[in-house]
Amino acid sequence: MSTTSSVAEPAPARAAAPKVAPVVNDLAIRVGTVNGSGSQSANLVLLRSLYAMGIPCSGKNIFPSNIEGLPTWFHIRASARGYGAHRADPDILVCMNEVTAQDDVSELKPGAICLYREDFSVDLPSLRDDVTFLAAPFYKLVEQAYPPDKTDKGYRDKLRKVVNMVYVGVLASICRIDMEAVEQGVRREFPGRKAKAAEINIAAVHTGYEWAQANLPTNLPYRVERMESTQDKILIEGNKAAALGVLFGGTSVLTWYPITPSSSLAEYAEGFLKQHRTDAEGRKSFAVIQAEDELAAIGMAIGAGWAGARALTATSGPGISLMTEFVGMGYFAEIPVVIIDVQRMGPSTGLPTRTSQGDVLKMHLLGHGDCRHIVLLPGSVEECYELVIEALDLAQQFQTPVFVATDLDLGMNLWLSEPFRYPDKPLQRGKLLNAADLERIGEFARYKDVDGDGVCYRTIPGTENPMAAYFTRGTGHNEKSGYSERPEDWKKNLDRLALKLETARKALPAPIIEGDPSAQVGLLAYGGSHVAMAEARDQLQEQGVRTGYCRIRALPVSDEVTHFIERHQRVYVIEQNRDAQVTSLLKTTLRGTIADRLVPVTHYSGTPISAENIVRPILGWEKNPSGPGWPTGDVERDNPHASHVEQPSPE
């Protein structure tokens, strides 16, 4: 491309696509670009502009696992009804990457808009006659906003980044996004010493906006209007929310090894700890260690937990695999530690930048022999914060590894949320004896079940009483921590550990149950799938399918989950993994033929789950019976009103 500026010309006329009735505040935009092109800043400006206009919104970055050069997409959703889940059918497609343009266009729904670079060699409008195509001279426009500077050796690289702000301006014109909100978003993206960059980018936005006002149709159907639905709400990533949980949960030792998609969680946490847990003299009340690998990270965390710290590590699926033996030792030696797994697509290296719920069963059963662990399943960014705090307390109370299972979609993308609540209860330390306690009791056996709940009393190194000492063993031991291979000691230990998990099960976050208890159809989900469930349930209701809904928040599951399944004729279990892992786990706990009521609905392409991924298979099954216990296809007949005693969730 020439280094001299050129004049942008009007967009060429195209055949009219089918007319679409005006759609207000129900908008999905997909931007197709190249990784490393600087488009993230432009996309965040769009998202924050919608947020500033008071419209509920969310953003998803679908990016490759290399540093630069491969296709990347950013999905922006604005919904007056508050829906934040992924939509596979965008209303507007912005094509900045010719390599993927044809595939992207083929996926559009009739009536959609495609905004694309006019310098593409491929003739996109020839591909579809039911899509409105708008060609824009992006590079000519950006040169008008940011003229060439022969003295700036980095000009070309800067230009390819600033050009993204041109499509921000064009979209602002098409969708009637408030320009004051856009400018505010740009200045937030380029604060302080980046003020000069902010002005250059604002100029690019205005150039795109003015060109669109002069050259594009004014009656395009997809637009937004100001609302007041984001007041007092925040936009935050799940990883940053979890990092706040690390801070407010009293973490004193954080160990980690970089791995996508959990690295930012540890980085955010380290920043928060440095900011809020360093005194005026520079003394820190925490330790953050970047280990040489995940094996070292979990070993350090378990050692810190044994020494009395509130210890935590963050990783993803491959890291969990490496941690297996250490976690089994933590379970058997009964050492508190928290492991956050920001799940990605496996197996093996898999797709490091795609989302999944494929580690859930693995976390629950991690370790050789009879191991079962507590797994907390946050379904929102608010719960990422709250359940990390809860996990740190549970690990102390039950002296065991506790997992928090988030995923890439929840962890690395921006979500709208109520502000987080300040913790209203003191940090829990569980059955921890100090020197005075030991003096008063007069005896101590580390692995003796004094209270009959499977949870023993413990001491930590440095307790100034001769009775405090004990051997910590991953091998066979008796109540006094002495080495033992006696069958009765071994069985007694395993039975007590099972009892401890049963005690913990009753203390875990309860499931959230809502909807119609009399409906024949129940829906069961967990973790990040929850985001799509409200929209899916509304769509099913519109199709005449009434539903009850149970969201599991912890493993092992509570009795309330069993009662929910018993109340419904068919229970669809929504999971983002191939093998229906939680469905399989639930079937092992249900009596008789109740397990036959479970029908898995699985999504495992690596893309975030959408309402359509849930609704389409369920409607297919509900309206096309295929076996005993299946519906007849008559919605009214299959969903009769029934008297019932409502059993709502305690929350």
Both structure tokens of 372: 């079962």
Tens of pLDDT, residues 158-177:
888 999 999 999 999 999 99
Which residues, including other chains, have CB under 8 Å from residue 571's CB and lie 6 or more apart?
521, 522, 523, 524, 564, 565, 597, 598, 599
In the chain, residues under CATH classification 3.40.50.920 are 512-623
Separation between Cα atoms, residue 360 and residue 163, nearest integer Å: 42
Separation between Cα atoms, residue 532 and residue 40, nearest integer Å: 24
In the chain, residues under CATH classification 3.40.920.10 are 23-223
> 373-394: b or e for each residue (b if 16 or more CB lie within 10 Å)?
bbbbbbbbbbbbbbbbbbbbbb
Contact 398, 340 (CB under 8 A): no
Percent of the chain with pLDDT over 90: 86
29 SS3 class: strand
Sign of CA dihedral 161, 164, 166, 169: negative
What confidence score (pLDDT) does residue 277 get? Answer: 97
Q: What architecture is domain 512-623? A: 3-Layer(aba) Sandwich (3.40)
Average pLDDT over residues 273-301: 97
- According to CATH, the topology of domain 236-417 is Rossmann fold (3.40.50)
The region of weakest confidence among 15-19, 168-172, 328-332, 470-474 is 15-19
User: What mean pLDDT, rounded, does the chain reach?
Assistant: 92
What confidence score (pLDDT) does residue 148 get? Answer: 85
Tens of pLDDT, residues 251-274:
999 999 999 999 999 999 999 999
Q: pTM of this prediction?
A: 0.92
CATH assignment, 23-223 = 3.40.920.10
Tens of pLDDT, residues 353-367:
999 999 999 999 999
In the chain, residues under CATH classification 3.40.50.970 are 236-417
The closest alpha carbon to 172, from 163, 184, 181, belongs to 181
Contact 330, 313 (CB under 8 A): no
| Local confidence band at 9 (pLDDT 50, 70, 90 cut-offs) | low
Average pLDDT over residues 582-586: 97
